[in-house]
Amino acid sequence: MKVLWAPWRMEYILADKGQECFLCDLAGALPSEDNLLLYRDDLAMVVMNRYPYNNGHILVAPVAHTADLNELTQAEYSRTMELFRFSLKALERHMEPEGVNAGLNLGKTGGAGLEEHVHFHIVPRWHGDTNFMPVIANTRVIPEAIRETYRGLQPFFEKYGE
């Protein structure tokens, strides 16, 4: 048997999960390395994905708890999209990806893991970032610890709106 060592996962396994919606748990929080929240205001937020498809995988979401983009006010929608665009730029400057997967999954059948709170995914990609591990071992390799990525991105979000 092969072992993939991931001791940082124990913190999540043992943590109190709070509300069912982790995005709503962050709605009143301040950005910190502990909660992986990069930015939040009264309308929208940016958070690192705790289960990334790749290094730098972030989520951009409105603060409002809804599964329907049409339920957002114009201000909520605009801020979320502004942060989406800003997040792309921050990832490009910090990580220099060769491409990006970006979008949202709506509904369970659409692939949403958290279907009741709309959120956008941004996943930086590099040529050759896929390998045999997902196919042969059903394992994805993330080469940088999520907190290291957070520390690299956080300075960009501290300057948002300047």
Q: What is the SS3 assignment for the chain?
A: CCCCCCCCHHHHHHCCCCCCCHHHHHCCCCCECCCCEEEECCCEEEEECCCCCCCCCEEEEECCCCCCHHHCCHHHHHHHHHHHHHHHHHHHHHHCCCEEEEEECCCCCCCCCCCCCCCEEEEEECCCCCCCHHHHHCCCCCCCCHHHHHHHHHHHHHCCCC
CA angle 80–23–130, rounded 5-degree value: 80
Assess whether 119 carries a catalytic annotation: yes
User: Which listed residue (57, 65, 94, 119) is catalytic?
Assistant: 119
46 within 8 A of 153, measured Cβ to Cβ: no
Question: Which residue numbers are catalytic?
Answer: 119
